[in-house]
Chain A
Amino acid sequence: MIGHFEHPIVVRSLTKKFGLFVAVDSVSFVVEKGEIFGFLGPNGAGKSTTIRMLCGILEPTDGNAWVGGFDVRREPDEVKKCIGYMSQRFSLYEDLTVEQNLIFFGGIYGLESERLEVRKHWALDIAGLRGQEKVLTGELPSGWKQRLALGCTILHEPPILFLDEPTSGVDPISRRIFWDLIYELSNQGTTVFVTTHYMDEAEHCTRLGLMYGGKLIALGTPTELKQKLSGYTVYEVESTQPLEAMEVLQAEEWVAETSMFGTAFHVSVQNVPRAGLKIRKILEKNGFEIRKVEKTIPSLEDVFIHTVLHQEQNSFHTES
Chain B
Amino acid sequence: MRIVLHIVKKELIQFIHDKKMFVMSFIPPVIQLIVLGYAASLDVRDIPLVVCDRDNSASSRYLVENFVASGYFRIVAAVGRESEVDRWLDNGQASIALIIPRGYERKLANGQQTQVQCIADGSETTSASTAFSYAMLIVQNVAQNTIVESLVKYGAIKAPPRIISVPRIWYNPELKSRNFMVPGVLGLLLVIMTMILTSMAIVREKEMGTLEQLIVTPVKPIHLIVGKLLPFLTIGMIDVFLVVVFTTLVFDLPVKGGVLLLFVLCGIFLLTTLGLGLFISTISRTQQQAMMTAIFFFILPMIFFSGFVFPIENMPRIIQFVSYFLPLRYFFVIVRGLFLKGVGLTILWPQVLALLIFGISIFTLSVLRFRKRLR
Chain A contacts to B: CB under 8 angstroms = 55-57, 59, 76-77, 80-81, 83, 85, 87, 89, 91-96, 100, 103-105, 107-110, 112
Contacts of A93 in B (CB 8 A): 10, 14, 208, 210
**B13 interface neighbour in A55, A83, A92, A100, Cβ under 8 Å:** A100
Number of interface residues of B (CB under 8 A): 24
B13-A87 in contact (CB<8A) = no
Beyond A57-B212, A108-B219, A110-B218: 20 further Cβ-contacts under 8 Å?
A56-B215, A77-B220, A83-B216, A85-B216, A87-B212, A87-B213, A89-B208, A89-B209, A91-B208, A91-B212, A92-B210, A93-B10, A96-B13, A96-B17, A104-B6, A104-B9, A105-B217, A107-B2, A107-B3, A107-B5
**A109 interface neighbour in B18, B215, B218, Cβ under 8 Å:** B218
Separation of A142 and B135 alpha carbons in the complex (Å): 74
**A80 interface neighbour in B17, B208, B210, B216, Cβ under 8 Å:** B216
Known: A100-B13, A104-B6. A81 touches B218 (CB 8 A): yes
Contacts of A77 in B (CB 8 A): 218, 220
B209-A108 in contact (CB<8A) = no
Q: Which of B210, B218, B220 has the most CB of A within 10 A?
A: B218
Contacts of B2 in A (CB 8 A): 107, 110, 112
Separation of A133 and B7 alpha carbons in the complex (Å): 20
Contacts of A103 in B (CB 8 A): 6
Contacts of A95 in B (CB 8 A): 14, 17-18
Known: A96-B13, A110-B2, A110-B3. A57 touches B209 (CB 8 A): no
The 0/1 profile, CB within 8 Å of A marked 1, for residues 14-42 of chain B is: 10011000000000000000000000000
A100-B213 in contact (CB<8A) = no
A108-B216 in contact (CB<8A) = no
Contacts of A55 in B (CB 8 A): 216
- Judge whether B261 is part of the interface by a CB distance below 8 angstroms: no
B178-236 interface (Cβ within 8 A of A): 208-210, 212-220
A108-B212 in contact (CB<8A) = no
B216-A104 in contact (CB<8A) = no
**A91 interface neighbour in B6, B14, B213, Cβ under 8 Å:** B213
A109 smallest CB distance to B (angstroms): 6
The 0/1 profile, CB within 8 Å of A marked 1, for residues 79-105 of chain B is: 000000000000000000000000000
- Judge whether B158 is part of the interface by a CB distance below 8 angstroms: no
B208-A107 in contact (CB<8A) = no
Please report the number of residue pairs spanning A and B whose Cβ atoms sit closer than 8 angstroms: 67
Chain B contacts to A: CB under 8 angstroms = 2-3, 5-7, 9-10, 13-14, 17-18, 208-210, 212-220, 375
Contacts of B216 in A (CB 8 A): 55-57, 80, 83, 85
Give me 19 A-to-B residue pairs in the complex whose CB atoms sit less than 8 angstroms apart, sorted by A's number.
A55-B216, A56-B375, A59-B375, A85-B216, A91-B210, A91-B213, A92-B213, A93-B208, A96-B10, A96-B13, A96-B17, A103-B6, A104-B6, A104-B10, A105-B217, A107-B2, A107-B3, A108-B217, A110-B2
Separation of A113 and B21 alpha carbons in the complex (Å): 31
B217-A91 in contact (CB<8A) = no
Contacts of A108 in B (CB 8 A): 3, 6-7, 214, 217-219
Closest to B210 in A: A91
B217 smallest CB distance to A (angstroms): 5
Contacts of B6 in A (CB 8 A): 103-104, 107-108
Separation of A45 and B370 alpha carbons in the complex (Å): 28
B17-A85 in contact (CB<8A) = no
Contacts of A92 in B (CB 8 A): 210, 213
A109-B217 in contact (CB<8A) = yes
B375-A76 in contact (CB<8A) = yes
Closest to B6 in A: A107
Contacts of B209 in A (CB 8 A): 87, 89, 91
**A85 interface neighbour in B213, B219, B375, Cβ under 8 Å:** B213
Separation of A74 and B216 alpha carbons in the complex (Å): 15
Closest to A107 in B: B6
Contacts of B10 in A (CB 8 A): 93, 96, 100, 104
Separation of A105 and B219 alpha carbons in the complex (Å): 10
Contacts of B212 in A (CB 8 A): 57, 87, 91
Separation of A112 and B6 alpha carbons in the complex (Å): 11
Contacts of B13 in A (CB 8 A): 96, 100
B366 smallest CB distance to A (angstroms): 20
B14-A96 in contact (CB<8A) = yes
Separation of A93 and B218 alpha carbons in the complex (Å): 18
A73 smallest CB distance to B (angstroms): 10
Contacts of A110 in B (CB 8 A): 2-3, 218
A283 smallest CB distance to B (angstroms): 48
A51 smallest CB distance to B (angstroms): 10
Contacts of A105 in B (CB 8 A): 217
Separation of A213 and B173 alpha carbons in the complex (Å): 76
A235 smallest CB distance to B (angstroms): 44
Separation of A320 and B207 alpha carbons in the complex (Å): 44
**A94 interface neighbour in B3, B208, B215, Cβ under 8 Å:** B208
Closest 5 CB pairs of A and B: A107-B6, A91-B209, A91-B213, A85-B216, A89-B209
Contacts of A56 in B (CB 8 A): 215-216, 375
Closest to A162 in B: B216
Contacts of A83 in B (CB 8 A): 216
Contacts of B217 in A (CB 8 A): 80, 105, 108-109
B218 smallest CB distance to A (angstroms): 5
A100 smallest CB distance to B (angstroms): 6
Contacts of A112 in B (CB 8 A): 2
Separation of A80 and B217 alpha carbons in the complex (Å): 6
Contacts of A59 in B (CB 8 A): 375
B360 smallest CB distance to A (angstroms): 26
B208-A57 in contact (CB<8A) = no
Contacts of A57 in B (CB 8 A): 212, 215-216
A85 smallest CB distance to B (angstroms): 4
A163 smallest CB distance to B (angstroms): 12
Contacts of B3 in A (CB 8 A): 107-108, 110
